[in-house]
A and B are shown apart, each in its own frame.
Chain A
Amino acid sequence: MKISLSWLREMIPLPPLVDLVARFDLAGLEVASIRPIGTEIPKELLPLVPEVGPVWARDKVVFAKILRIDKHPDADRLKLPFVDHGTGEEKPLVTGAPNISVGESGQTVILARTGSVLFDGHSDVKTLKELKPTKIRGIPSDSMLCSAFELGLSNEHDGIILYPEEVPPGTPLVDVLGDTVVEVDILPNMGRCLSMLGVAYEVAALFGGEVCVPKSTPEESGAWPCQVSVSIEDSLHSERYSSRAVTGVTVGPSPAWLQRRLLAMGMRPINNIVDVTNLIMFERGQPLHAFDLEKLAHRAKDGVVRIRVRSAQEGEMLKTLDGQNRLLEPGMLVIADDLGPIALAGVMGGFDTEVGTETTQVLLESAHFDPIRIRKTAQALHLSSEASLRFSRSISATQAGPALDRSADLIASLGCGKVAKGIVESWPVQHEPRKVLLSSQKIQKVLGISVPLERVETILHALRFTPRKIRESSETDFELEVLLPPERLDIQEGAVDLIEEIARLEGYDRLPSTLLEGTISKRLGNPENDFHNRVRDLMVGLGLQEVITYSLSSKDTDRLLEPKLDEGGADHICLANPISPERSVMRQSVAASVLEIAVANLKQNGASSQKLFELGRAYLPHGEKDRPKEPHKLALVMAGKRTETFWDGKPGVDEAIDFFDIKGVVEELFSLLGLDITQIRLDPKAGKASLHPGRQATLAYRFQGKEYTLGYLGELHPRTGQKLGHLGAIVVAEIDVASLRMVVPKRFVVKAVSRFPTALRDVAVVVDEAVTADAIAKEIRAAAGDLLTSLSLFDIYRGPGVMPGRKSLAWSLGYQAMDKTLADKEIDKTHLKVEERLVKQMGATIRGR
């Protein structure tokens, strides 16, 4: 909402601009910008001014009158006007303006004296320049006649202003044309401030002062030129329709002051009738419409104009003011006559009944329309207007009458027509004045402080509420019955709405700060959240960088890792209004999103390695009836160099991350979470086409006799890598976090550490290639039993000494007892058992034996 301060000042005395803006900001009328028109803005408010223009100094920029125009003695092109500028002396001026001529004498112009700072008329860009005395072709010139561009009123260089109305010479320009337009963001519950009068009431409530409401009783004369009837057929969506007739209308441009006001509000002047309806809309917040009454009468077969407010019918069309033919839908509210729709109620008038230069009779409409209907219609037709904006914020039907009278009166007082006697209206739905009970206890309960009765009453009165005491035990113990003014449709809930108003006017800065009383009896904490944080911390400790990626993704991205998705229909939660194809579905693979980040960092951002994780949600539709599932996934992606090469040359440049890096991270994570990593089960047949067929596994874990599938890990299939444009190996893993949490032991029991020494024995096991390390480890553990306290694989060898098709795995075994130092004999016996079992069960040969 733009607020012209020169206009507002006619309704209410204003405080200094700085105070006004500060108080507006705190009271819910946030000032978005300030546009000065020739006025000076205090320095502290300059950040709110998008474009600083010239300031019209009162003693330097004034109205003047051209007395006569001489030719310049030396230059044909230049003219030498003599002006009266209010000082009694005739001032000669040199000007090259093409748009004044000798016939122009008597013309009112605007004169700037030496020292004025205006936009430089010789520059295309707006640059402020001080006017200095000069000589043009020998004739001294210390003033100039101004163009709209120089004054900051226009972007065009279009000659000096020939002001259309007479203004006494010497009158400061700023007194007539100067203004400051403050643009305020209107919150949804502040619809009443979409009018100058509403803002004036707000200023009165905030700063005090009496609002001067413009008179609104038109002088009536003459009868209606034709018979008009009004009926509301859809009284659910329109409570009131009022109309007046104006006859003897002469349509023409509005007076300059009216045009200026509309321009200040950001609206283009059209003609006097339409401009008046718009002006009153800005003044009172009630949109009005003007029909050409003759055109309406012409359409009526029997000469009786029957106005109906009804719902549009299937297939009806209306050519709107903008010349567009619009197909209407049932549910849209229209104004119609016998022939059909003549206006889209509250949104836009009809082309066929428009007021034009030929119009001599006008029907003024002022009505109530349902906010939701108007909002829906404006949205459906993409027709948002100042009128529909106001209607959709709810306007009380009681406002229709005064606005109608005010506009009729203004038309008459401008001499544009005569107001016919009487109003034709329908007002089927009328509401009782609404009342709200407000007690001191309720105020105390919400605000935490008590506000004395006198203060409460003062505030309520200032906001035009009418409080009545129904109980008063003391200054701070009372109950009021508050009568609401009809326009306060934002007061819906009752007492709390009034308490908000009290707090707002009292100022929140006057409230003390306290902390909550009492304790919460039962706090559950958030173990799930705690677990997520624990996992994140462990991942960071393992050297992985956390990322957070878009949960809005695309099917293509998800299918990088889950190629089977959407094969048999839609598996995704899809957006109906995506901003781009890349962000069109809710992701199901967190790893795929992380993978894209890793590749971007390696390819575009110059990273030599990426070790990333994300603990975030996947989104599963979960059927037609149920709430979608949002399981948390832990996604890991690693690629590039294992470690940065140090200046000593170690490790070599070719040490790239592989499958065992990600497996190591997973094992370490499990171990840090208190899991037993010997219970990890990797099934090589994960069946993921996006991964290397020989380097992938389903990740499962045996816990309390059951096997839980937790996720997968693997190396990216080279073809998937190629698709991403990355040629090195990339390893990925995704673990379902809830499943992981399920297998974490609730109770952690520490194992005792033996005081006795550990004896180390090695064994090199030669087996067929097909035998897995895991299988050998299992046999070793089974054979060695409890004495075995550590087992590690330290070498794999293929080559001379080992038959082709076989491999040698060298293990280091640590033997230790809790209760004694093991004797060599005991160790030898156990170790032999291990070797024998390997030979027997695995077809192994033991090297060096």
Chain B
Amino acid sequence: MASSLDTLLSQGIEELRLALDEAALRTWQTRWFGKTGEISQSLKRIAQIPAAERPEYGQKANAVKEHLQAAHDAALLVLQDNTLENDLAKGGIDITLPGRRSSPGRLHPSTQTLRKILGIFGELGFEPFTSHEVEEDEVNFGLLNMPAHHPARDMWDTFHTTRPGWILRTHTSPGQIHAMRRAAPGPLRVVLPGMCYRYEQITSRSEIMFHQVEGLAVGEKVHLTDLKGTLLAFIQRLFGDKRKIRLRSSYFPFTEPSMEVDMDCILCLGKGCGLCKKTGWLEILGAGMVHPTVLKNGGYDPETHSGFAFGLGVERIVMLLSGMDDIRHFWANDWRFLKQF
């Protein structure tokens, strides 16, 4: 009887070898392990076996059952692995097809650069102060030490409104007056960002509208050396820590002394190229010590207080950083231009 179990085992293994897919395996499973399957049948046969042989027969029958089950499970695993391998082999894609991209928004290049600038000055302790764009002639010029018919007014071509005495601010400097009047006589450190306007023809080099950022510090211990240090720190943060600056004497009615600030050319590093017009220097900022009259107009006593101020054009910085050569791109907002930033 026991030998019939051996035959059963080898028969089961043989049939299992012939089951080549999962469906055949399921048929095998039913045929061997189903309610009326071979295993059940052989277990039922235990009744016909002499009682003494029964335990041995039972043990052996169980061993056969376990053996066949294990063989089945192993065969199933192999089959599943094969199926997966097949699927994977067929499931390859052309990974060079374009990715599914969302169309993200972007900040306008002026905003991006303005933020960088304000961020650097923020770390240096300057808070942003915003002011009016439609401004009184008196604040834009008069209180900044340029009374009516002052020759320096020629430095700014001005848009006038039809309301007498009101103009579009030509620089952010009138904001100095508003900021000082808010803080005086306390110490003050602000940056004044915003749109300014110049009556000009629109060309690749000149625009009627541009962002300016102006800085202003007033206190009892504010010196020209601090102005130089602050601007050097700013320029090195924005353009790299190797940058050098140079101060050239200049003139603004609202500062005294006044100067232009150049930085060594970011392209040729001072050797001279097209960007710096072969001079090795790029003009970046106008700056100076706040004129005593302006301090007075802002509510400070020029005997006890001094201040420095500086101003720069945001679009000019964008152009320097990005190699743009036509300022008209900024407000034309051509999507092909904007998507590059």
Contact = CB atoms under 8 A, between A and B. Distances in A.
Interface of A: 25-28, 30, 44, 46-47, 187-190, 371-372, 375-376, 392-393, 444-449, 493-494, 496-497, 499-500, 503-504, 508-509, 511-526, 528-529, 533, 536-537, 539-552, 573-579, 583, 586, 597, 600-601, 605-607, 609-613, 617, 619, 621, 627-628, 630, 643-644, 646-647
Q: What are the 3 tightest A-B residue pairs by CB atom distance, in nearest-first order? A: A448-B223, A448-B225, A508-B247
Given A601-B334, A617-B133, A544 B105 contact: yes
B235 to A, nearest CB: 11
B45 to A, nearest CB: 51
A514 B224 CA distance: 9
A737 to B, nearest CB: 12
A307 B137 CA distance: 39
B104 interface: yes
A551 B169 CA distance: 13
Contacts of A445: 223, 306
Interface string B321-341: 000000000111111101100
A122 B339 CA distance: 54
Interface in B13-55: none
Nearest to A602: B335
B130 A523 contact: no
B221 A514 contact: no
Nearest to A448: B223
A384 to B, nearest CB: 11
A548 B110 CA distance: 8
A524 B129 CA distance: 10
Contacts of B201: 579
A47 B279 contact: yes
A552 B197 contact: yes
Interface string B152-193: 101100011111001010000000000000000011110000
27 contacts: A26-B247, A28-B251, A188-B151, A188-B152, A188-B251, A375-B149, A393-B151, A446-B289, A448-B223, A504-B249, A509-B246, A514-B226, A514-B229, A516-B125, A516-B217, A516-B230, A518-B221, A520-B125, A522-B186, A524-B127, A526-B127, A526-B128, A533-B115, A551-B133, A573-B161, A575-B162, A612-B333
A549 B224 CA distance: 37
A514 B251 contact: no
B251 A30 contact: no
Contacts of B125: 516, 519-520, 523
Interface stretch (B68-76, B80-88, B254-262): B254-262
B243 interface: no
Nearest to B330: A548
Nearest to A605: B334
Nearest to B253: A188
Looking at A190, A515, A552, the one whose CB has the most chain B CB atoms below 10 A away is A515
B306 A446 contact: yes
Given A518-B187, A628-B166, A508 B159 contact: no
A512 B228 CA distance: 8
Contacts of B161: 573-576, 586
Contacts of A533: 115
Contacts of B232: 513
Nearest to A502: B257
A530 B52 CA distance: 94
Bin the interface of chain B by size.
35 or more
A607 B296 CA distance: 54
B106 A546 contact: yes
A579 B200 CA distance: 7
Looking at A512, A514, A536, the one whose CB has the most chain B CB atoms below 10 A away is A514
A646 B222 CA distance: 60
Given A376-B149, A647-B98, A500 B257 contact: yes
A447 B154 CA distance: 29
Contacts of A190: 251
Nearest to B246: A509
Nearest to B308: A516
Given A26-B247, A500-B258, A513-B225, 8 more contacts: A30-B250, A47-B272, A497-B256, A511-B247, A513-B229, A516-B221, A545-B105, A611-B105
Contact of B105 (A504, A546, A617): A546
B103 interface: yes
A575 B154 CA distance: 19
A509 B115 contact: no
A533 to B, nearest CB: 7
A524 B115 CA distance: 18
B238 interface: no
B189 A520 contact: yes
A158 B239 CA distance: 55
Interface in B53-96: none
A189 B251 contact: yes
Contacts of B311: none
A831 B130 CA distance: 54
A187 B154 CA distance: 11
Nearest to A641: B103
A78 B8 CA distance: 133
Contacts of A504: 249, 257
